Amino acid sequence: MKKLITLILAAGKGKRMKSDLPKVIHKINGRELVKYVIDQAKETGSDEIWLITGHKSELVREATRELGVNYVEQKEQLGTGHAVLQAEEKLKGKSGDVLILCGDVPLLKPSTLKKFRELHNSSNSVATVMTTEFDDPFGYGRIIKDLSGNIIRIVEQKDANEEEKAIKEINSGVYIIDKSELFDSLKHISSDNASREYYLTDVIGILTMQNKKVKTYLIKDNTEILGINTVEQLKLAESIIKSRN
């Protein structure tokens, strides 16, 4: 397999957590969210791990400094695409695949990630997107496919029309993308959307427009990709983790 570099998005403020702490250092079972995600990255076989920090960056570094990870700071929060772009300089001269994980998604099983990586490698894709299905997909980016079932692009909730909003297959926010293809594509994204942000999801549309091979990997257990945005979701994730033990 190709070398694997993991980027963990860990810059969020967590406005709905009723706290001024960075979102990723809220705790489940006494352990910071981001530590679960670092474990995911290590168990998937990452050769190096980078945390993209932002809000109160020093607190995230302090919580993780003994875990053998690297850091890059996103000084302004201008979207997920902008966050990943901050790592370009640090990764200059390196090749391989980039696994992108979210620092507030602690429930993803390493076994799922290993299968995801294996599919990506065996299919010779330049990018693979992890997806799942929700009966009520509100808030998630929708996976838009052609008649043959191939992914065309990802449309965010705020930018989706009524037909697109009815799609139940959603983007988990987890990707594996060839490093050079990732950073080449990021140079072409814009913030011309409802949020005025640079979406990482736009990379997928750019690659498919260039007729590059992009795959999806649908996981059945949608609880694995639950993101933590509220205190209630934190409690739910804690109960799921306890039920697994």
Residue 16 has pLDDT above 90, yes or no: no
Give the CA angle between residues 56, 177, 41 to the nearest 5°. Answer: 55
Kindly report, residue by residue over 125-143, the tens digit of the pLDDT.
999 999 999 999 999 999 9
Kindly report, residue by residue over 39-98, the tens digit of the pLDDT.
999 999 999 999 999 999 999 999 999 999 999 999 998 999 999 999 999 999 999 999
Domain 4-244 has CATH 3.40.50.1970: no
CB 154 within 8 A of CB 46: no
Quote the mean pLDDT of the chain.
96
CB 87 within 8 A of CB 52: yes
* Among 16, 31, 65, 196, the one annotated catalytic: 16
Catalytic residue list contains 142: no
Long-range contacts (CB closer than 8 Å, 24 or more residues apart) made by 66-69: 67/35, 67/38, 69/8, 69/38
